[in-house]
Structure 1
Amino acid sequence: TVIAPDRERSTIGHALTLRKPLRVKKVKINGNFWGFSLDGTPADCVIIGLLEIMKDEKPELIVSGINRGPNLGDDIFYSGTVSAAVEGAMRNVPSLAVSIAGFDDFKFETAALFTKKIAANLMKNNLIPNLVLNINFPNIDYEEIKGVETTRHGKRVYQDEVKIIHDPQGTTHYWLGGELPEGNIEPDTDFEAIYNNKVSITPLSLDLTNYQMIPKVKDLIKKWNYT
């Protein structure tokens, strides 16, 4: 069952729609039922899907995507695609976030065929309820894929700019933009896998605790003066 936002929702993260009602519409292509569109966020789609549309037939696996563009490194903190997968895992449904690491002429067939095989292999095993896999595909033809790597997230290098625009009424507007982001190609990272034309699969954790920092923060707090 397909449940998707009815418009572009890039970089919307894990936003939920809590202050207005959501509208769900059935979508037909060439007269055939295709799925549902929702005037909300990717995470909204997961919640509406699990709690209403598919409440009597809970899915065994959620696939979020295919996203037109990469979700590498720090991108995951902005990504609606990844956030939808995280929402699924939070509700105990194993989830995949699928993205194409390109910016034009997207090779959807490559990502779709490979994702289908990944899903089939996962279904043969006992799925972990809170599993989240962030999967990025190089933007190339299927036969050019050089392999699959289990990776860690690398470091994204953003080149953000703020442009100031003045409208005829004299109001100042700010436009966020900049050059396309880059990434550090380091060993075992998602950036390295994509650079080598390999599929990157990064397991994500719902626990964002920095355990290495706990002792340091404890020592720091002991030194604080609250008087």
Structure 2
Amino acid sequence: MSLRILITNDDGVDAPGIAIMADIAHALSDDVWIVAPDGNQSGAGHRFTLGREMQFDRLSERTFSVIGGSPADCVVVGMTHILGDRPADVVLSGVNAGQNLGDIINCSGTAAGAREGALQGAIGIAMSQGINYEHGRDVDWANAVRHGVATARSIIAVAEGRDHYYNVNFPFCPPDDTAGIAVVPHQRFSRSPFRYYPSDNEGKFFVAIPETPMPLDPAADFEVMRQKSYVTVTPMRLQQTDTGLVERLQGRLSL
């Protein structure tokens, strides 16, 4: 029986990256489904649309668009309703236009799609194509196209249980210059990278990332992808409790 694969993203069901992810999935299985937001949900994180009615449109036999839904909404709808009694074995989220590295994964809708997939019992894999922002915001998808299938297949082959999800970033170098796959931790920044950013319009502002907090760990995802041209894979735990701190604090807190 083929792997059942569910695809979502946070750039919207019509985004070019989701078409690339569909090609990746079809190279792995003939049982591929897409449930994605109808529009851009970048930065939505693991938000659920609670207390408000939603609906989805069926765009083709196996492609659905959730109106106003987040990536997490889409995975829930796909895994618990659209796919019926056989939920997906693998949830692929992306391919995102731009890297999701370091602490940015905490707000990433792409990462949340894979995380919810893992929480629902699947192997969750988030994929993002890096951009060299020093040269503009154009996306060159060549690395994801070349290396996406092998990367996904490698992760699926070694995935242990359903207690993790996997965050993948493709470098922005030419595909022939890619150094390989590096399994690395995510970069913990010295502070949140998000800041108030003034607008040119009086009285208006943005929340944005005006600069990358320094210093950066040369062994973490941010620099390994950008400076060393590896496809980075970061296994992320669903159990977020610091068990060591639990042990150290036992008996030390009181009312």
Distance between the aligned counterparts of 2:215 and 2:148, measured in 1? 26
In structure 2, relative to structure 1, the CA distance for the partners of 1:184 and 1:201 (3 Å cut) is farther
In structure 2, relative to structure 1, the CA distance for the partners of 1:160 and 1:216 (3 Å cut) is same
Distance between the aligned counterparts of 1:126 and 1:136, measured in 2? 17
Is contact 1:5–1:45 with CA below 8 Å preserved after alignment?
Answer: yes
Give the share of equivalent positions with the same residue, in percent. Answer: 26
Q: Does 1:118 align with 2:118?
A: no
Determine which structure has more spread, i.e. the larger CA radius of gyration: 1
In structure 2, relative to structure 1, the CA distance for the partners of 1:203 and 1:115 (3 Å cut) is same
Distance between the aligned counterparts of 1:111 and 1:137, measured in 2? 6
Q: Does 1:25 align with 2:57?
A: yes
What CA RMSD, in Å, does the superposition of the two structures yield over aligned residues? 2.6
In structure 2, relative to structure 1, the CA distance for the partners of 1:127 and 1:205 (3 Å cut) is closer
Q: Paired residue for 1:135?
A: 168
Give the 3-state SS of the residue equivalent to 1:221 in structure 2: coil
Give the 3-state SS of the residue equivalent to 1:2 in structure 2: strand
In structure 2, relative to structure 1, the CA distance for the partners of 1:114 and 1:81 (3 Å cut) is same
Distance between the aligned counterparts of 1:128 and 1:220, measured in 2? 34
Q: Alpha-carbon deviation of 1:166?
A: 7.7
Deviates more, 1:9-18 or 1:33-42: 33-42
Q: Paired residue for 1:163?
A: 198
CA-to-aligned-CA distance 1:176-201 (integer Å, 9 cap, x gap): 23524356432431023112011110
The residue identity in structure 2 corresponding to 1:11 is: G
Q: Alpha-carbon deviation of 1:150?
A: 0.5
Q: Does 1:35 align with 2:70?
A: no
Q: 1:46 aligned to 75, 79, 98, which one?
A: 75
CA-to-aligned-CA distance 1:16-48 (integer Å, 9 cap, x gap): 0112222212336xxxx6722112000011001
Is contact 1:101–1:138 with CA below 8 Å preserved after alignment?
Answer: yes
The residue identity in structure 1 corresponding to 2:162 is: P
The residue identity in structure 2 corresponding to 1:24 is: F
In structure 2, relative to structure 1, the CA distance for the partners of 1:117 and 1:178 (3 Å cut) is closer
Q: TM-score, normalization: structure 1?
A: 0.82
CA-to-aligned-CA distance 1:41-60 (integer Å, 9 cap, x gap): 00011001111111244222
Give the 3-state SS of the residue equivalent to 1:16 in structure 2: coil
Q: Alpha-carbon deviation of 1:64?
A: 0.4
Q: 2:102 aligned to 62, 73, 85, which one?
A: 73
The residue identity in structure 2 corresponding to 1:196 is: K
Q: 2:242 aligned to 194, 210, 214, which one?
A: 210
Distance between the aligned counterparts of 2:211 and 2:217, measured in 1? 19
Q: 1:181 aligned to 212, 226, 230, which one?
A: 212
The residue identity in structure 2 corresponding to 1:37 is: S
Q: Paired residue for 2:16?
A: none
Distance between the aligned counterparts of 2:62 and 2:177, measured in 1? 30
Q: Does 1:83 align with 2:112?
A: yes
Q: Does 1:15 align with 2:15?
A: no
In structure 2, relative to structure 1, the CA distance for the partners of 1:219 and 1:97 (3 Å cut) is same
How many residue pairs get aligned? The number is 215
Deviates more, 1:127-136 or 1:65-74: 127-136
The residue identity in structure 2 corresponding to 1:193 is: V
In structure 2, relative to structure 1, the CA distance for the partners of 1:191 and 1:184 (3 Å cut) is farther
In structure 2, relative to structure 1, the CA distance for the partners of 1:125 and 1:216 (3 Å cut) is closer
